[in-house]
Homo-oligomer: A and B are copies of this chain.
Amino acid sequence: MPSPTNPASAPVAAAGGSIAVAEDELVAALGGGPSDAAETRERILHLAKDILLRRSFHSFSYQDLADGIGIRKASIHYHFPSKEDLGVALIERIGAAMKRFAVELSETHRPPEERLTAFFRVMRGLLDEGNKICVFGVLGAEFNALPPRMQVAYAELLEAQQKWLARVLERGRERGVFAFAGTPDEEALIVSSTVQGALQIARASRHPERFDAVVAALEARLRAQPAAG
């Protein structure tokens, strides 16, 4: 594999985080070994996701990715023929990370309140690792300007996330640790809307702690009233 100008260090890509789990796991899981092909593909996705959550979909180009990775633009087109392909892959990748996140919480038998807290923690983490916000916030804002297949992928992922959240809330209510008036679906909608908006506002106002305040309020209201007095 000829890589004449591979600087052996991809500074931009190194800054990236993830929704829930280290990217390395996925790399290992997919590639199985030191496959160069999968590795480049992963690097592209990793960096693209990083820039996406920082700056939005229409604010980065194939050239940005090429520069950041130390590869030529044409090579990125080899892995992702069109930007729409890349966008869809990004959404799917994030969906996979969300799924792994959910599965892990499930397999370790975490109680609902802990799952919700973990969710909040992941979201909060985005703000710290480079002023990111959640995918739904990024792509939701430019939704009408998104290529068709990305719109579909987005909508699907959104429903999946809503479903997961609703289930967590429902189980929490069954166990008496959460209290809310409407349906679990409605409550999930409220929680995710709030988190999504709070991330954007906290970032733009440069007051990340505002996100914490919102989450605290959200948790306080969800918790069954302990008959305070």
Contacts and interface: CB of A to CB of B under 8 A. Distances in A.
Interface in A199-229: 200-201, 203-206, 210, 213-214, 217-218, 220-221
Interface stretch (A21-29, A80-88, A185-193): A185-193
A158 B213 CA distance: 17
B59 A155 contact: no
Contacts of A141: 56, 133, 137-138, 140-142, 200
Interface residues of A, number: 48
B204 A158 contact: yes
User: Which of the listed residues A131, A141, A143 has the most CB atoms from chain B within 10 Å of its own CB?
Assistant: A141
The A interface is mostly helix, strand or loop, or mixed, namely: helix
Interface string A146-159: 00000100110011
Interface in A20-70: 54-56, 58-59
A195 interface: yes
A197 interface: yes
A220 B201 CA distance: 24
Contacts of A138: 141-142
A142 to B, nearest CB: 4
A16 to B, nearest CB: 15
A155 B54 CA distance: 17
Interface of A: 54-56, 58-59, 131, 133, 136-145, 151, 154-155, 158-159, 181-182, 186-187, 189-190, 192-198, 200-201, 203-206, 210, 213-214, 217-218, 220-221
